[in-house]
Amino acid sequence: MNATPTRTLRIARHFDVDAGRVFDAWLDPATAGRWLFATESGEMVRVDIDARIGGGFVLTDRRDGEDVEHVGTYLEIDRPRRLVFTFAVPKYSAVHTRVAIELTPAGDGCELVLTHEGVLPAWAEATEQGWGMILAGLARRLA
């Protein structure tokens, strides 16, 4: 058996809003389309979210005339504490990884810990930077 080694990334961020608002932003198409996988220079042209266990999502960001799809299936939905989904960007890799979002109350806001499992080493740095930008975009949208 020739297993490809992978990495697990963990990113933590504090939000100054309650966990319910942060959680809902991941599953509401109108909100998610403004920050989730969106880029500064791109245009979000498709946001399909079927927010149920076994349901999926497709978010397509048009970047310099090319469409980049982000796809996944929801594995766990426990509002407002935990969201788990598979994740892939077919344009760049056929690999499906696993992302878990954990939210805990903290003062007047909440702490979010994102754990991304199964990341190929060649994509680890870009993936970590990407999640950092995505979470910063979420913070701006919720401010």
In a domain, 90, yes or no: yes
In a domain, 72, yes or no: yes
Q: For 60-83, what is each residue's pLDDT tens digit?
A: 999 889 999 999 999 999 999 999
In a domain, 2, yes or no: no
Q: For position 129, which CATH number holds?
A: 3.30.530.20
According to the model, what pLDDT value does residue 35 have?
Answer: 94
Contact between 57 and 85 under an 8 Å Cβ cutoff? The reply is: yes
pTM of the model: 0.94
Q: Domain range holding 64?
A: 7-142
In a domain, 1, yes or no: no
Distances (CA, A) of 19 to 9, 23, 27, 69, 79: 21, 6, 13, 27, 9
Domain count of the fold of the chain: 1
In a domain, 127, yes or no: yes
According to the model, what pLDDT value does residue 138 have?
Answer: 97
Q: For 2-56, what is each residue's pLDDT tens digit?
A: 567 899 999 999 999 999 999 999 999 999 999 999 888 889 999 999 999 999 9
